[in-house]
Amino acid sequence: MSQIPPLIRYLSAAVFLGLGVLMLVWRKGPNWWIGVRLPWTYADREIWDKSWRLAAVFLVGMGVGALASWKIFFISTAHLLILGILYPIYLYRRKYGTIRYWKDAGWLNYRPMAKCPNCGYLQKLKPPGNPAIITCEACGGTIRSE
């Protein structure tokens, strides 16, 4: 196996470290250009922020890994790809009780749905300022969205 030239090692480390540090410092809201762009992250800003931080940490790990060892780099890349997808789904499921979402008209208009623990009814949540406790439309029970 041939050695990777130092120029490629330093350039890739600079790109990933720079992008990771930029993401740690700059908190951009849901957009189409940068970040963990999944429907579950678009539906909830809190999940977007947590996924954004996780991706930033893995990008910094990829940058350090490119300098230290390519094995660390590839392990960080695998973690970014696998956990970057599974973590937002886990957070969404824990918060809303389902992995279902609904899409309103527009590009970024994904909205969360909450599952009633009493009857199992999936209810669309209102867009801004979701209250912590909502009433089920089907049975009248309470749904916690936290």
126 part of a folded domain: yes
Domain count, the chain: 2
One digit per residue, the tens of pLDDT, for the chain of length 146 reads: 457 788 989 999 999 999 999 999 988 888 888 888 899 999 899 999 999 999 999 999 999 999 998 888 999 899 999 999 999 999 999 988 889 888 877 667 788 888 888 888 888 877 555 566 778 888 888 876 55
Domain match, 18 and 65 both: yes
Domain match, 77 and 139 both: no
Per the CB < 8 A criterion, the answer to whether 132 and 108 are in contact is: no
Domain match, 26 and 53 both: yes
Domain match, 44 and 92 both: yes
Q: What are phi and psi of 28, to 5 degrees?
A: -85, 140
Domain match, 17 and 72 both: yes
Q: Which domain holds residue 26?
A: 6-101
